[in-house]
Structure 1
């Protein structure tokens, strides 16, 4: 492991152990056995170090997402994606808090990639007729809820003590967004919007027999129908 990675992992361990969620650059240097000039050369200052810790956290988070092999059932993949998100937050609580901090002046590009990966799974759900709302709308609901639950668990563990909380929120949300889910007892039958979203997803992933103008017009109307729910 190179010195830079050692310092990032040392910073994460110190953050996890810190009661006030803060660290001293001197402690990071001592943990790795290097002098302060090394830290300044690699990161510039403490803010640069913490920014690099966030990037390192997102690198590992996205690695789990990119490595996930799609199954034959996108709904299962969607559930697993929620669970791996929560598992990452529990395993890296201090870094997770930094990764999804509201104090960012600009949202990290890695966070936007995470949203795109979620949308890809939701497009697959739409393609098999399982999605009630447009993939981008569903992605916003799922990501915000996933982050909210994860932050609650890692920042207020003494308050959020229910071991089934994550599963309960996940299943309730998926029930509202998906058709005929495993945990649903009252889902309505798929309607026009679900059918429109299914055909829209297929048109965007497969070659259309229509000409380009006709396909563009069809996509426009299907998008309108899909958002009418």
Structure 2
């Protein structure tokens, strides 16, 4: 790409980022009602028409600020691809999400009140981090429910913790609320001991094969076919 094109892109992006950061600052200091196109334009050192040119309208600006929130949160995440304790890794991720919400209450509320926010690239990247944690738990036999339900429980408890805490008078904010909700989440989505002793497909296949005679949903033919598949998977790591 020619250097002049890169310079042009940077020049176009710089005022946009300046507006987003000015809006985020107003949001944090004075609340959502203070984020008017005129106030943001003044804070960013631009004329109000520039806001409409860059974002379309105020809703477009707020969506961009919500995306900025997800980007900021994602940058704070420290991802361990192979944690020593996947349950503690889950707790740490939940704590990080709640701490971000409590530290950025207005921004957090905006992030989860704009319907289009959950379609952004930063939100999807954050979800990939969470689903990675859940896949590791599932592969190790720790997960009590399926991954999609586990993700929903984790989000519901974290958001509930943040919004409930913020709704309480300061003298009634008991830290036990947060730790209790976190441990309720852990209990809901994980086993105390791994259901599969050997991580990986072979261990999971052996565990499922052992439980197969206890189920009545499958027909005899389906059980026979599934047992054949499980036998192959269970012995695959011995090859």
Q: Structure 2-normalised TM-score?
A: 0.69
Structure 1 residue ranges, 4+ long, deviating more than 6 angstroms after superposition: 201-204, 213-216
Give the alignment of 1:80-229 within 5 angstroms.
Answer: 80-101=92-113, 104=115, 107-109=118-120, 110-154=122-166, 156-158=167-169, 161-180=173-192, 194-195=195-196, 200=201, 218=230
Q: SS where residue 93 of structure 2 aligns? A: helix
Give the Cα separation in 1 of the matches to 2:63 and 2:92.
Answer: 28
Distance in 1 separating the partners of 2:40 and 2:29: 12
Bigger Rg, structure 1 or 2:
2
- RMSD after superposition: 3.4
2:90 is aligned to 78
Range with greater deviation from structure 2 (167-176 or 157-166): 157-166
Q: Distance in 2 between matches of 1:12 and 1:199?
A: 44
User: How many Å apart are 1:164 and its aligned residue?
Assistant: 2.7
Q: Are 1:18 and 2:30 an aligned pair?
A: yes
For 1:164, what is the secondary structure of its paired residue?
helix
Alpha-carbon shift at residue 179 of structure 1 (Å): 2.3
- Higher relative contact order (Cα pairs below 8 Å, separated by 6+ residues): 1
Q: Is the 8 A contact 1:124 1:201 kept in 2?
A: no
- For residues 163 and 229 of structure 2, what CA distance do their matches in structure 1 show? 42
User: CA-to-partner distance for each residue in 1:44-66, whole Å, 9 max, x for gaps?
Assistant: 2211111110111111222333x
Counterpart of 1:42? 54
Q: Which runs of 5+ in 1 are unaligned?
A: 181-188, 205-212, 219-229
The CA deviation at 1:111 is: 3.6
- TM-score, normalization: structure 1? 0.71
- Cα deviation for residue 11 of structure 1 reads 1.0
**Deviation sequence 1:179-208 (CA, Å, 0-9, x none):** 22xxxxxxxx66xxx33996559779xxxx
Q: Which runs of 5+ in 2 are unaligned?
A: 1-12, 206-224, 231-239
Q: Residue 203 and residue 30 in structure 1: after superposition, are their counterparts in 2 closer, same or farther (change >3 A)? A: same
Larger helix share, 1 or 2: 2
CA distance in 2, matches of 1:54, 1:73: 32
1:47-102 deviation digits (Å, cap 9, x = unpaired)? 1111110111111222333x42342221121111001101111222112111111x
Q: Which residue of 1 aligns with 2:235?
A: none
